Amino acid sequence: MDPEQIKDIFTKIYDFQKSHSNPLTKFVSSGLANYEGGKWAKHRKIINPAFNLEKLKLMLPTFHQSCDDMMSNWEALVSPKGSYELDIWPSLQNFSCDAISQTAFGSSYEEGRRIFELLKEQAELAMKVIQSLYIPGWRFLPTASN
C-alpha cells in the first residue's frame, strides 16, 4: 500500500466513515477506534506524541525481547521430530500484553497478569452482549450459550 494513501486515511477524518453495523457498539465500547470526526481528531492529537518515531525506536528492544521470549516458548514445544501444532492466538495475546506492560508501565505481563485477565474477560463478555442482542435469530441458534 502506498504510504501517501495511509497518510490520507489517518488525516482526512471526514472522508472515511466507519460502518455502523451494530448500534450497541457506542454504548459498550468507546475509544479512538470508534470515534469519528472532530472527536477522533482531538483524541488522535492527544495520543499522537506517544507514537512518534523516536519513541517507537526506544520501544523496539522491549518488543524484540518479548518476541524472543515467545519464540523460545514455541521452540520448547516442538518435538524432536521437528513439528508441533500450536494455537498461536493465546501466545500473541500474551506477547501483546507483555510488550504493552513493559513499555507503558515498566513491568512484565506476569506482574500485571490479573489486570489483563480481567480486561480479557470484560472484552469477551462485551462481545457476547454485542453478538447476542443484535444478530436477528441468534438466540435460536444451537450454541453453547443458548
Per-residue pLDDT of the chain (146 residues; tens, 9 = 90+): 788 887 877 777 666 666 666 666 666 666 777 777 788 888 888 888 888 888 889 889 999 998 999 999 999 988 777 788 889 998 998 888 888 888 887 777 677 777 778 888 988 888 777 766 666 776 777 877 66
pTM over 0.95: no
Asked if residue 30 belongs to a domain, the reply is yes
Asked if residue 20 belongs to a domain, the reply is yes
Per the CB < 8 A criterion, the answer to whether 48 and 69 are in contact is no
Asked if residue 123 belongs to a domain, the reply is no
Asked if residue 128 belongs to a domain, the reply is no
Nearest to 36 by CA among 50, 20, 15, 17: 17
Asked if residue 18 belongs to a domain, the reply is yes
Asked if residue 108 belongs to a domain, the reply is no
Asked if residue 5 belongs to a domain, the reply is yes
The total domain count for the chain is 1
Asked if residue 85 belongs to a domain, the reply is no
Domain that holds residue 47: 1-51
Cα distance between residue 127 and residue 111, in whole Å: 26
